[in-house]
Structure 1
């Protein structure tokens, strides 16, 4: 018999998702105490990590009054396995834009989510721009954390080199991307999550991030920000997506809205949730207001 008083409001489940004929059983967590009529918010973690980055967001009772949160473990990450209907061990994992976009849409459709808000960081931030480009009619808003028009140099053979400990490398890089308002515990916790990734996965994530992704100059298509409200958010200490760079990127997309987070870095949702929420609440309230008026 369980002691209900010791249970949190976070519940984990699996959902079947098919992407281009590949079948997945995707693990996600949601805030079970959420308003059943709340607006869905789908959250995508950073490269090499998993949905635990959004734990504080899931536990937030104020958020639950208006939003149903879905924090996903991308396939091959956390508790989401590789595809169940193919010999995945015989191929090199490379995350592609085409697959990533389709996967996110199919995940939402598998749960019958209607006009969800999308929020993602790093690889998830880059994805947020593509979702706004390709599916503005499906997502009521896209919140892109740490997006940048091009991010070269991260896809590298040393991630999987026999003389390099990939877990230690990921730990150190993750730790160093946090801001001044991040406690030592949160720095180490996020880095610890990142260090648990399977071999070849973080470099596979970074194939999309560093090789496929390029929206410089004329490569950036027109985005209908009236249909899909686009936010581009950058932490003051995020050297992969410095605020001035993200702001300039945002200015190339008419109607997009730029937000700089003081004292935060690449992983604001886990670095210092209280501070992150100060910025996020303004964004979410604005989305609700704009969408209701639309």
Structure 2
């Protein structure tokens, strides 16, 4: 197990692939940990790319400071983490809040990010009122009380009733309440429209046909803020298409690496 001991937080992380390859950094969604990427990582090449993933603060095996958090703090964690492990010029793949972190990171530190994948993410996710209501309910009754409703937003019906969906429910309800609340507060206060509109780098947007958390229309609109970007929608998938349709997800990612970033080894 690897832990990056940073100024304000300890981040759990993992590395696969080629340690000398082009770095591809994966940032997971609210209520999940770095296992979110297991299926996709298994489909990516073992040479030419350095595959890095981490648990953001308050999630997985990372430490959990008291909430609230800000998007700036989550971005600063990521900046410091990448510097700690010697990464510059990465392809940053962020899902949901992970995509928000990626947008802000690319704006603040363009030398760290040379390509961005915005998966099921947006410049502004939800409304402050929605997030405040969720925070208050979790404080009152815990994440478990909202788990079924959250999974309805995450997955299509067929997957939601599969045995595998149990893993994701358990992962969700085992997320520390402080971590979930802290990241929810960051989303409530965040609108990245202005800074994302000024980005100038290759961007791929990925939506899920049945995503109720970040509908494809919202993901597409954010993607189109960046000139020259491309958007794809994955059919029959919800908010976590890397889980439901990993083969298609990996294909889109590898195409992006080849065509937009000239990563010929994949």
Same fold (TM over 0.5): yes
- Give 2:50's aligned residue: 68
Give the counterpart of 1:193 among 141, 148, 171: 171
1:126-275 to 2 correspondences below 5 Å: 126-150=100-124, 151-152=126-127, 153-156=130-133, 157-161=136-140, 164-179=141-156, 182=159, 184-209=162-187, 211-216=188-193, 219-220=194-195, 222-225=197-200, 228-275=201-248
Give the counterpart of 1:96 among 64, 70, 74: 70
Could you list the per-position Cα deviations for residues 225-249 of structure 1 after superposition, in whole angstroms to 9, with x for gaps in the alignment? Answer: 2xx3222221111122222222233
**d(CA) in 1 for partners of 2:155 and 2:80?**
32
Give the counterpart of 1:52 among 35, 59, 63: 35
What is the CA RMSD across the aligned residues, in angstroms?
A: 2.3
**Which consecutive residues of structure 2, in runs of 5 or more, have no partner in the other structure?**
none
Q: How far off is 1:37 after superposition?
A: 2.3
Larger radius of gyration: 1
Comparing 48-57 and 184-193, the one that deviates more: 184-193
TM-score (norm 1): 0.79
Matched position secondary structure for 2:117: strand
1:70-89 to 2 correspondences below 5 Å: 70-82=52-64, 88=65
Is the Cα contact below 8 Å between 1:77 and 1:197 reproduced in 2?
A: yes
Instruction: Say which structure is richer in helix.
Output: 2
Q: How far off is 1:222 after superposition?
A: 4.1
TM-score (norm 2): 0.87
**d(CA) in 2 for partners of 1:222 and 1:239?**
24
The alignment of Structure 1 onto Structure 2 pairs a total of residues equal to 258
Could you list the per-position Cα deviations for residues 237-273 of structure 1 after superposition, in whole angstroms to 9, with x for gaps in the alignment? Answer: 1122222222233223222222212121111222232
Compared CA separation, residues 80 and 220, structure 1 to 2 (3 A): closer
- Give 2:25's aligned residue: 42
Higher RCO (CA-CA < 8 Å; seq separation 6+): 2
**d(CA) in 1 for partners of 2:197 and 2:94?**
21
**d(CA) in 1 for partners of 2:259 and 2:93?**
14
